[in-house]
Amino acid sequence: MANAREIQSRIKSVQDTMKITNAMYMISSSKMKKAKKILEDTEPYFYNMQGAIARILRHVPDIQHPFFSVRHLVPTRERKTGIIVVTGDKGMAGAYNHNITKLTDEFMEKTPGYHRLYVLGMTGRQYYEKKNADVDGSFRYTVQKPTMHRARLISEEIVRAFLERELDEVHIVYTQMQNAAVMEAVDMQLLPLKKTSFSPFQIPVQAPQEEIEMYPSADVVLDTMIPNYLTGVIYGCLVEAYASENNARMTAMQASTDSAKKMLQELSIQYNRARQAAITQEITEVISGAKAQKRK
């Protein structure tokens, strides 16, 4: 058995680590609350905007617009896919970063053609730079404190790349938060937009079609609407990923605080035993010493 001093220094080190994990737990829980609040604030804008686009598409069914073009003419082998990967800036969040990179890798294996990665967050960037994937170097945004401004810069960049045919498809891989316990890495297609995803149910033929005038023209309206919509989607994804990251970190840190507590308990039992053994031994030594003296 280790001696009492060794156990004591081990207890000290576990206690110090527990202080850190406990502090990280509290920080990430407050960050997550903030992120959830932001997420709730953006939801009305987001859902109503989706509804509005669905309505336009319903009333103008045969609309031709570059954002909706699937580009059938590009063969699958030559398709250029852009993937926005939302990871965290640091680890200590359980499987959060790993799940994202795993899903991205799977996606890249599944789809043939050329892939270009837009990585958000330091851990993902380091991972893909080590793997020598094509990572866009100018795309250096942090995932801390998502802002509308950052979402706008990202969406401007991908819209430009899409329209200039640098990319034929754009996906985003981020972590969705279904509830406080369940988080899942998901892959969502941003561009080209799918008409079906806006209107899930079939419109009956007899449904009265209202006449809606588009001012100045349908194209111009969609031209401003869709980048705005994408900005909104990206912002929503960033906020959700941020909330998930902090939730993951919170759970991980709570687990490690708990196991630190358990370790401390075991160590303190061990320490007491060692201390008692030492005391017993000392008493035996003193008594036997005294006895030896008496016999003289």
Binding site for another protein (CB under 8 A): 38, 41-42, 44-45, 48-49, 52, 55-56, 148, 152, 156, 160, 210-216, 220-221, 223-225, 228, 231-232, 235
The amino acid present at 100, given as its one-letter code, is I
Residue 246 Cβ, how far from another protein at the closest point, in Å?
Answer: 19
Residue 155 Cβ, how far from another protein at the closest point, in Å?
Answer: 11
Is 109 or 211 the residue whose CB approaches another protein more closely? 211
Task: Specify the DSSP element, H or E, that contains 184.
Answer: strand 183-191
What are the C-alpha distances in Å from 278 to residues 197, 264, 283, 285, 290? 73, 21, 9, 11, 18
Residue 45 Cβ, how far from another protein at the closest point, in Å?
Answer: 4
3-state secondary structure of 199: coil
Cβ count within 10 A of residue 123: 20
Residue 60 Cβ, how far from another protein at the closest point, in Å?
Answer: 10
Is 101 or 231 the residue whose CB approaches another protein more closely? 231
DSSP category for residue 135: B
Is 39 or 252 the residue whose CB approaches another protein more closely? 39
Is 41 or 129 the residue whose CB approaches another protein more closely? 41
Residue 137 Cβ, how far from another protein at the closest point, in Å?
Answer: 18
- Count of alpha carbons within 13 angstroms of residue 271, beta-carbon side: 14
Is 6 or 40 the residue whose CB approaches another protein more closely? 40
Helix ranges, 60-115 (H): 96-110
The amino acid present at 295, given as its one-letter code, is R
Residue 235 Cβ, how far from another protein at the closest point, in Å?
Answer: 7
Is 151 or 250 the residue whose CB approaches another protein more closely? 151
Give residue 93's Cα distance to chain centre.
Answer: 10
Residue given tokens 């060692």 in the structure block: 274
